[in-house]
Amino acid sequence: MTIPLTTTGTAGSTGTGQAAPTGRRRRRNPVTPYLLLLPAVVALLAGLGYPVYWQVVTSLQKFGLAQQFGQPPEWVGLANYARIFSSEDLWAVVVRSIAFCLVNAFVTVAIGVAFALLMRAVHPVVKVVVQVALLLAWAMPMVAAVIVFRWLFDARTGVVNYLLTRLGFDGMQGYAWFSQPLTFFVVASLVIVWMSVPFVALSAFAGLTQVSDEVLEAARIDGASPVQILWHILLPLIRPVLSIVLLLQIIWDLRVFAQIRLLQDYGAPVGSTNLLGNFIYELGIGRQDFAGAAAVSIFVLALTVLLSWPYVRSLMKEEAAS
């Protein structure tokens, strides 16, 4: 759930191939495992289970001002969904979120793979330099990263406008990046891509190190050009890694909220820069329309579960094999 795992978090097991749990444990009291699970399950139910339940119930009720003051809620079936999903506002946000998510996910994966191929080709010292740069970018707390980019793109004293002006783009002097939706999303995408590329690059690189040198040598002897080797050998061999990484990026970029929220503080047109998370925030916290916010939240959760399915299945396969 909750914490945007965008950069630091990835789901995955640690060591692999450990011994399977020993069968002889089966003799022991069958109550023990349930007792061991109890604290974690209680925490999950309190922190996540109840909120999900509340959201399902609230999305089916009328939750207006009267209910805020203690009136019993009124069941309205799917009326909240009908109300929210027939509004053009929501569809504009959905389309914008999906476009933003897909563009960022594909750009991130493309740059990440380019980094991985580069790390394979360069001198070992350069490789370490690249890895250190990637790790530092990955480690940056999200809020600090967004605020640093806000400073880099400051209209008057920002270094980006200075460099662009020096390069001959005179129009960029004092350019206000955050007041236009398009340039707003350019900066937001730059932050997200900058933060997300390290994970993709290092994962793809780990995949590339599995490709044996003999295979490549054989291809070279057979006269394959570097481009052919890339398209017909390297990329197909790391395709499993790439598809999982791309899927995770799509899931993570669909939930982008904080970066947008932070950048909106500087005079951005809120209505035309909101993504799904921001829309929910505005609806729920801003306008106190809890029923509508709950309905959109359920939509986001359902979409996430749907998208996560292939990823979870691949992890379960690994779990069954270990």
The answer to whether residue 152 forms part of the interface with another protein (CB under 8 A) is yes
The answer to whether residue 304 forms part of the interface with another protein (CB under 8 A) is yes
Q: How far is the CB of 201 from another protein (least distance, A)?
A: 9
Q: How far is the CB of 234 from another protein (least distance, A)?
A: 14
Question: Look-up: residue for tokens 């009328």?
Answer: 62
User: How far apart, in whole angstroms, are the C-alpha atoms of residue 278 and residue 281?
Assistant: 5
CA dist 170 to 81, 163, 164, 268, Å? Answer: 49, 10, 8, 23
Please report, as residue ranges, which positions from 236 to 255 form the binding site for another protein (by CB under 8 A): 240-241, 243-245, 251, 254-255
Q: Which residue in the set 82, 99, 121, 186 belongs to the binding site for another protein (CB under 8 A)? A: 121
The answer to whether residue 189 forms part of the interface with another protein (CB under 8 A) is no
Q: How far is the CB of 7 from another protein (least distance, A)?
A: 9
The answer to whether residue 86 forms part of the interface with another protein (CB under 8 A) is no
**Exposure string for 2-12, b = 16+ CB within 10 A, e = fewer:** eeeebbeeeee
The answer to whether residue 72 forms part of the interface with another protein (CB under 8 A) is no
User: How far apart, in whole angstroms, are the C-alpha atoms of residue 113 and residue 235?
Assistant: 9
Question: Which stretch in 75-83, 84-92, 180-188, 193-201 sits in contact with another protein by CB under 8 A?
Answer: 193-201
The answer to whether residue 203 forms part of the interface with another protein (CB under 8 A) is yes
Angle of helix 181-208 relative to helix 88-121, nearest 10 degrees?
A: 40
The answer to whether residue 225 forms part of the interface with another protein (CB under 8 A) is no
The answer to whether residue 314 forms part of the interface with another protein (CB under 8 A) is yes
The answer to whether residue 265 forms part of the interface with another protein (CB under 8 A) is yes
Q: How far is the CB of 69 from another protein (least distance, A)?
A: 14
Residue 185 or 208: the one with the smaller Cβ distance to another protein is 208
Please report, as residue ranges, which positions from 7 to 46 form the binding site for another protein (by CB under 8 A): 8-16, 18-26, 28, 30, 32-34, 36-37, 39-41, 43-44, 46
Report the DSSP beta bridge partners of residue 61. Answer: 75
The answer to whether residue 147 forms part of the interface with another protein (CB under 8 A) is yes
Q: Which two tokens stand for residue 83?
A: 């109300």
The answer to whether residue 4 forms part of the interface with another protein (CB under 8 A) is yes
The answer to whether residue 106 forms part of the interface with another protein (CB under 8 A) is no
Q: How far is the CB of 122 from another protein (least distance, A)?
A: 4
Total binding residues for another protein by CB under 8 A?
127
Q: Which residue in the set 74, 89, 217, 318 belongs to the binding site for another protein (CB under 8 A)? A: 318
Q: How far is the CB of 317 from another protein (least distance, A)?
A: 7
Please report, as residue ranges, which positions from 271 to 300 form the binding site for another protein (by CB under 8 A): 276-277, 280-281, 284-285, 290, 293-294, 297-298, 300
Q: How far is the CB of 198 from another protein (least distance, A)?
A: 8
The answer to whether residue 319 forms part of the interface with another protein (CB under 8 A) is yes
